[in-house]
Amino acid sequence: MRRFALALSLAALSGLAVAQDDAPADPVAGETRVDRETGLPHWRKIHEVFSHSRCANCHVEDERPRWSGAHYGATRIHAFNVQRGGDGSGFGNPGQRCMTCHMETNSPRPHGPPGAPHWHLAPAEMVWWEKSSAEICAQIKDPERNGGRTLAEVADHVREDALVRWGWQPGAGREPAPGSAEETYEAILAWQAAGAPCPDQ
């Protein structure tokens, strides 16, 4: 299966390694006046998506993705001792990669593994799991912690990336993230236009 080697190289290209590069200019400062009244409702929509289990379960600070949903009890640590991976890549460990079980498409079996290309954990600095709205907001605006992206690039990523888009097509038996990729893309742009205000909490 060539997809694994490919995925690792893609991951390297797509910004996982960008933190070491020169950070791009602050995507917000100096561009727009901040309009909290217009911007915060957009942020709330974005936050509903980012903090949803379909997204947050794999945006964790520690080494362990989470599981949640019907028949899983409360949200819990992914079984089988699945880990981010000793190399920090987010693709799992030798002998047990994320893609050992997660294929490019959802398993049709009930409770079978969901699938999308290059299944992996988000980098630890992109943490959403159990973070407040304010914390996620600060994170997503910080190029050091968002893969070196401008907000427009973040919006593109949400709309284009197959793994992100999976959040809205998670397969039978799983609650999808609210809205759609397109709506979230638009919300990010609208939020950016309003100066990308962050909530207090």
Contacts with another protein by CB under 8 A lie at 1-5, 67, 71-73, 77, 79-83, 86, 93-97, 99-101, 103-105, 107-113, 115
* In the complex, minimum distance from the CB of residue 91 to another protein, in angstroms, rounded to a whole number: 10
End-to-end, the C-alpha distance of the chain in Å comes to 45
Closer residue to another protein in complex, CB, 111/145: 111
- Smallest gap from residue 147 Cβ to another protein (A): 25
CB of 165 to another protein, least distance (A): 18
Q: Is 134 left (phi over 0), alpha (psi -120 to 50) or beta?
A: alpha
C-beta closer to another protein: residue 29 or 74: 74
User: Distances from the Cα of 77 to the Cαs of 58, 67, 107, 186, 188, in angstroms?
Assistant: 11, 6, 20, 32, 30
Q: How far is the CB of 81 from another protein (least distance, A)?
A: 3
Tell me which H or E stretch contains 75: none
Judged by CB, which is closer to another protein: 19, or 101? 101
Contacts of 19 (CB under 8 A, 6+ apart): 123, 125, 144, 148
Q: Which two tokens stand for residue 27?
A: 């995507």
In whole angstroms, the minimum distance from the beta carbon of 129 to another protein comes to: 15
Chain mean position to CA 17:
16
Closer residue to another protein, CB minimum distance, 77 or 134: 77
Q: How near is the Cβ of 45 to another protein at its closest, in Å? A: 31
**Buried-state track 104-123, b at ≥16 Cβ within 10 A, e below 16:** eebeeeeeeebbbbbbbbbb
In the complex with another protein, which residue's Cβ is closer, 36 or 111?
Answer: 111
Asked if residues 85 and 95 have their Cβ atoms less than 8 Å apart, the reply is no
Q: Which one, 57 or 192, has the nearer CB to another protein?
A: 57
